[in-house]
Structure 1
């Protein structure tokens, strides 16, 4: 289209300018843009970056193209897909079968979730990407909007008309860049994770999964027989899956808390404006560092702090229960304590990809207070047994709180029925008392029937005194048998 065409729109000019840049004809070296996206600047990866950004330019709908994240994660996995022999897969299946037997001796919940899937790294990416997207989407939208505003506010006067009608294009490109960064992180996580429940979040809906290729890597260097590592990992993952299968409300509860927290994140526009004022288009490294360091995400609000505290308590209770149940179920493993401590330290420190996700989204995925939560569940188990312990997962309002983790005595007293009736018991008792009074008391204003009333009672008393021997005084004063004789009414 000729440059002097009257039909030329400003956003078309911007699109053509960006397309020239993406073709290598613009002022910025495309390899630097690849660095800003957190990608290696090898020719294949560079070509993929350019293709995905070109696709973002041509999209007619607004919003983030999350397929870019999946493609980027898949590309990262394909560089190191790993391989597993059939013998290794059989060994993991045997470990999973034994884990199911041992776990059945420790808890009855979620017995239907007894099978663990064996996933490759690519299969794990495909299965978990929807959850990573859900956790990241609020932040991605906030960053894309903030970048658009900053560019529009700090563009030269002659570029204002061009940018005025190009908000959708800018948002699409900015969102695609974020999605590609997320894909890179998830691709790295696929090389670190051993099981579906590794990160504390319910990434797989009601299912358990192991990655045999990463399980082998995790066992290397521990100086522990690999078969023991397989069994321990299988028990832990199966416990995680069974918990979420039993407490169907729990997954939505956790993910809703994550989204509530993430939607409260607002990009630090002042910091972004400072970056825009000093930004050198020939050196996108500064932008990459700002995104990866989390510098654009401001301190948490009071509401976010409260939401995060509740979320961390829930995750701690989940992980603590899983740890306590795993410890009990693996008593036959000679090196179970060494395996558990190794895994606990790995989860506490987190890998490079975990840290990258934390700075990218502003949410750490490492569970906190694991030791305290596991100690809480052990104390409850010792006091009331596993069946009563697991009843705390039946519904959300039974969930313990942070204070209960520190002092489980109140929860234990409640589970033991510490002599106090709950509200439902009190209401039921009141209904029974009312019914009993209605059965023995005559209605107001009614006349007693023949043979009833005070006169009849006196006559009956006189007859008893003549025809029956008098009872001794001790028997006369003894109260009638009462439901409370055993310490309280019998509860259904």
Structure 2
């Protein structure tokens, strides 16, 4: 009897189901509120998400080529689980490019790291547009109800205004990916390329002598804690990898900055307390009232770099609009070649010259 040999399927580098379980278990529960208040919160967020769509359409002047995103109101644990699904989708198949020379123990360790980080972040995210659904689809808009409640309460801003303001930002993200249906694949491809290279260099580090490992990790940690604007991962990157990461970061800066500008552009006729919300939210972003440990943690997780993305991207969007108007800015969504480079985010005039001549 003939026997057919087959190559066993390559196992993922991270045990994603385990990461989801760990993230959900470690996610802090959030503020306690009466059942009626929580019911009103969920309904209010859904209503705000629906209301935001037409305002985003009007203020952005973008023409989406795909269906609008599905709105899902979640708790912190559900947000963390959803993000393990997105991360798994983004790197699906990468093991076939760079097979891990590691076993189940490393898969579990990776799950623990991913789960712990997502659990920490789960208490800080108000909303997120997720374009990477398992099996594909137009994406989903996740609104993290306990975080919205905690933020609006701590800042003392009108709940109805704040919820609409948050949804304007997140629906703008949904609009970006709908108007540029190539964007999700573009970001996924660039990210996979970078992760592939990081996997190779990480494998080299894993095989290195212990003294080199200590030196590399120690330098990365010190750089992240000093006033240099670096994150922990920067210490492990080669110059080419830093360039690749800078280009990905430039796209993220565009997406976040554009959403920040558009959410405020609707003005007080739509969100009456928008200026008060923005001022108090910026103080919250800057870490006002947070303990020293939380400030250090933000730097290690790259959250300060994320804040810089919002501000650099918003400055780029405003400068381009001053030069060529909102319709001129919208050329950025036409094709991937029109995306700004890392240098152009800091020099909007260079982008205008390149794209508009």
TM-score, normalised with respect to structure 2 = 0.71
Give 1:70 shift: 1.4
Q: Secondary structure, in 3 states, of the residue corresponding to 1:191?
A: coil
| Change in 2 beyond 3 A, CA 1:223/1:255 | same
TM-score, normalised with respect to structure 1 = 0.54
Could you tell me how far apart the structure 1 residues matched to 2:98 and 2:298 are? Answer: 21
Q: 1:195 aligns with which of 92, 110, 127?
A: 127
User: 256-265 or 268-277, which moves further after superposition?
Assistant: 268-277
| Change in 2 beyond 3 A, CA 1:79/1:104 | closer
Larger of the two Rg values belongs to structure: 1
Tell me the C-alpha RMSD between the 2 structures: 4.1
Give 1:253 shift: 1.7
Q: Secondary structure, in 3 states, of the residue corresponding to 2:59?
A: coil
- Can you list the C-alpha shifts for 1:204-229, whole angstroms capped at 9, x where unaligned? 65332212221101112212222221
Indicate the residue corresponding to 2:16 in structure 1.
66
Indicate the residue corresponding to 1:212 in structure 2.
145
Aligned length: 314
Which segments of 5 or more consecutive residues in structure 2 lack a partner in the other structure? 1-8, 215-220, 226-230, 288-293
Could you tell me how far apart the structure 2 residues matched to 1:94 and 1:192 are? Answer: 22
Pairing 1:379–2:311 present? no
Give 1:348 shift: 6.5
Indicate the residue corresponding to 2:187 in structure 1.
254
Give 1:322 shift: 1.1
Could you tell me how far apart the structure 2 residues matched to 1:274 and 1:239 are? Answer: 48
Q: 1:119 aligns with which of 74, 82, 85?
A: 74
Could you tell me how far apart the structure 1 residues matched to 2:125 and 2:47 are? Answer: 20
Give 1:80 shift: 5.9
The answer as to whether partners of 1:99 and 1:234 remain within 8 angstroms in 2 is: yes
Give 1:76 shift: 2.1
Q: Equivalences for 1:371-450 in 2 at 5 Å?
A: 371-412=311-352
The answer as to whether partners of 1:109 and 1:390 remain within 8 angstroms in 2 is: yes
Give 1:87 shift: 1.5
Give 1:195 shift: 0.2
Could you tell me how far apart the structure 2 residues matched to 1:372 and 1:78 are? Answer: 31
Give 1:301 shift: 0.6
Could you tell me how far apart the structure 1 residues matched to 2:284 and 2:246 are? Answer: 22
Pairing 1:264–2:201 present? no
Indicate the residue corresponding to 1:228 in structure 2.
161
- Can you list the C-alpha shifts for 1:235-284, whole angstroms capped at 9, x where unaligned? 1111111111211111222232222222222233477635999xxxxxxx
| Change in 2 beyond 3 A, CA 1:181/1:104 | same
Could you tell me how far apart the structure 2 residues matched to 1:342 and 1:213 are? Answer: 19
The answer as to whether partners of 1:92 and 1:230 remain within 8 angstroms in 2 is: yes
Give 1:356 shift: 6.0
| Change in 2 beyond 3 A, CA 1:344/1:295 | closer
- Can you list the C-alpha shifts for 1:288-314, whole angstroms capped at 9, x where unaligned? x9xxx9989953111101101111111
Q: Equivalences for 1:256-295 in 2 at 5 Å?
A: 256-265=189-198, 266-267=201-202, 268-269=205-206, 273-274=210-211
Which segments of 5 or more consecutive residues in structure 1 lack a partner in the other structure? 1-59, 149-170, 278-288, 419-492
